[in-house]
Amino acid sequence: MKNSILTWIILLLNLGMYLYMMYALGLEFGEDPTPEDLIQVGGVTSDTPLYTWFTSMFLHSSVNHLALNMLSLTAMSSMVIYVYGRLSYLIGYFVSGIGASFAVANFTTYTVVVGASGAICGLFGMLVIGLLFRNKRERIDMSFVGINIILLSIITFAFSNVSVESHVGGFITGIIVGAIFSIISSIFSYSSEGERLE
């Protein structure tokens, strides 16, 4: 499955924000910002303004951080679009990112949190719900999904520099969003079948 133009736009936004952050902070390419730097450019903490719930999902603390998140996004975004459609994918991405930031702002133990991983975890949550309750598994590599969920769980809980709150908050938000979209889809599907029967 090919990646949607929406995914490429998200990738470019993340790359653009990383380059802007490096320029705004006067950092050389490959030089990592400090926690204070990240707060300055829009990272989320327990007491930053609400707009950081949005801006933080486009910021990354290093080139490796950015690359890993963007690889994860490109690896599974097409599956989410296949199950839900482009608009639901886009809504799910941003709502999950905000849900991850909400979890960080209210439950975090970190100085500052940045990155797209909360939104990406939300897409995984949507995908899990979609595979459980929607009849669209024939083009989905289930082993790929399972392996990635295992890897995501290991990364979330095994590394001290990873925000558990962001990942779990995004994943739970994605499950909720996926359930809502699945219920709406089933209602419309049921209504359409009823109209055909009549």
Burial class of 40 by CB neighbour count within 10 A (0 to 12, 13 to 18, 19+): middle
pLDDT of residue 196: 47
pLDDT (tens digit, 9 = 90+) per residue, 47-93? Answer: 889 999 999 999 999 999 999 999 999 988 988 998 899 999 999 99
Contacts of 38 (CB under 8 A, 6+ apart): 59, 61, 112, 114
pLDDT of residue 197: 45
| pLDDT of 189 above 80 | no
pLDDT (tens digit, 9 = 90+) per residue, 20-43? Answer: 999 999 998 778 999 999 999 999
Q: What percent of the chain has pLDDT over 70?
A: 89
Burial class of 172 by CB neighbour count within 10 A (0 to 12, 13 to 18, 19+): middle
SS3 state of residue 112: coil
What type of residue sits at position 122?
A: G
| pLDDT of 160 above 80 | no
